[in-house]
Each structure stands twice: as C-alpha cells, then as structure tokens.
Structure 1
Amino acid sequence: MLTHSHPKLPMRNKAITKDFYCNLLGFEVFGSADFESYLMLQKDEIQLHFFEFSNLNPLENYGQVYIRTKNIEDIYNLFMANNVAIHPSGQLEIKPWEQKEFSLLDPDHNLLTFGESVF
C-alpha cells in the first residue's frame, strides 16, 4: 500500500533554496538533522526533499512537482503578496482538464504546479 510521495529535487545552494521555500512559500524545515547537502521541507501535508547539485544548469533542469491543494486562490494570493514570480505560462486559470492551476519556478527552475479540482 502506497501512502506518501516525497519528491527529491535538485538544488544548487541550500541557503537560497531554504530561503525561497520558507520565507516566500511558507514551508518549514522538516526533521531534526541538518545534512550539509540535503534539505527536507514541509508545508501542511506536503514534503519536498532537495539534494545538492552544485553544477546544475537551471535552464536544463526539468524537475517538476504537481501539488494538489484546497483554497488555491488563497495560496495564489499569499504568493503574490510575497512577490513570488508566477511562471509566464502558468497564471491562475481553469484548465481544460478541469483543474484550477498556477505554476512557478524555484531558484533552480524546478517547476511547481499547484492545482485544485473545480468539482
């Protein structure tokens, strides 16, 4: 039986990644261990893990995560208030597949898409 998924995404700089996710998106550090090249973050029921990839070219990074949510407009407005840049092709809208979605890129160009069912 599968119970949870914790995506592992590349990061070039742990401090920059932690700052972006914690101070702009509202995540918190998960766990009590502080590993030099690894970062675990949590917001509500979502965990994201990051591994150091210092030579990552962000323009060649295809890391992506789809996060299902409730109250997507509240989350979107919080991110807007924190001056989080929304992906140019990822504005908040209802998609043909009946999800209200928006997307953003983190500092390493990992694509985060947030979606809520319109039903």
Structure 2
Amino acid sequence: MRDKKITEEFYIHLLGFRPMGSGNYPEYLMVEKDQVELHFFLFPELNPLENYGQVYIRTSDIKGLYREFLDRKVPIHPNGPLQAKPWGQMEFSVLDPDHNLLTFGQAV
C-alpha cells in the first residue's frame, strides 16, 4: 500500500472488511472479512501502473458477494465482471487503489 488511510477506506468502508489490531503499526494494516485476512505493508514508492500484485479469494456465495459489492458501489474491473470461467469457477475481479488485483471465485 502507498497510503494506509486510502487502503483502509477502500477495504474497510467500501469492501466491508473489518480492521484487525494493526492500529499501533503505522506502516502495517490487517483486515478481515468472512475468515479471509489480508495484510498490507507501507510501500510509498509503489507505482500502481507497474504493480502486479494479485490475490485469489474463494467464497461460498459468489453471487451474494457480487451483489453486495454492486450495492456498495465497488468498481468492478472492466475485464472482470461476474462470469463462469472455462476452468470451472464463477469469478469477478476488483482493483484496489494500488492496483492489487483481487479476484473472487467459487467452484461451479
């Protein structure tokens, strides 16, 4: 993450994650949602356009999560709307403010 406050705003207020005890560490952030933990470290020199960070998060309710994100006005990646993939997963993707790619999936 380049900026902890921006990352907190995105994950906590937009995606609905909750903070996890990282308040005392200004260069570290931990968030949790539905038994998924994500950890971030401060990297102010990160160029988002050159960032290739990505995470695949499995869920048991992909359609519900997608609806929740649409209701929260989460910007879905233009190439990543909810769709069935040839490899047997239903998936959608989101880019965070630092261009970390988050792909959410469920086996179909």
Q: TM-score range by the shorter chain?
A: over 0.9
Aligned pair partner of 1:23 in 1, 10, 13: 13
The AA in structure 2 aligned to 1:16 is I
Partner of 1:97: 87
In 1, are the aligned partners of 2:57 and 2:102 still within 8 Å (CA)? yes
- Higher alpha-carbon deviation: 25-34 or 51-60: 25-34
Aligned pair partner of 2:68 in 49, 73, 78: 78
- Higher alpha-carbon deviation: 52-61 or 33-42: 33-42
Over aligned residue pairs, what C-alpha RMSD do you find? 1.0
Between the two proteins, the alignment pairs up a number of residues equal to 108
Distance 2:51 2:13 in 1: 23
TM-score by length of 1: 0.88
Q: Which runs of 4+ in 1 moved over 3 A?
A: none
Aligned pair partner of 2:37 in 33, 47, 69: 47
Distance 2:16 2:23 in 1: 20
Distance 1:90 1:105 in 2: 10
The AA in structure 2 aligned to 1:25 is L
The AA in structure 2 aligned to 1:56 is L
Distance 1:96 1:43 in 2: 27
Structure 2 spans left out of the alignment, 5+ residues = none
Partner of 1:59: 49
TM-score by length of 2: 0.96
Q: Closer, same or farther in 2 for the Cα pair 1:15/1:117, shift >3 Å?
A: same
The AA in structure 1 aligned to 2:32 is Q
Distance 1:106 1:21 in 2: 8
Percent of aligned pairs with the same residue?
A: 60
Partner of 1:114: 104
Distance 1:77 1:41 in 2: 21
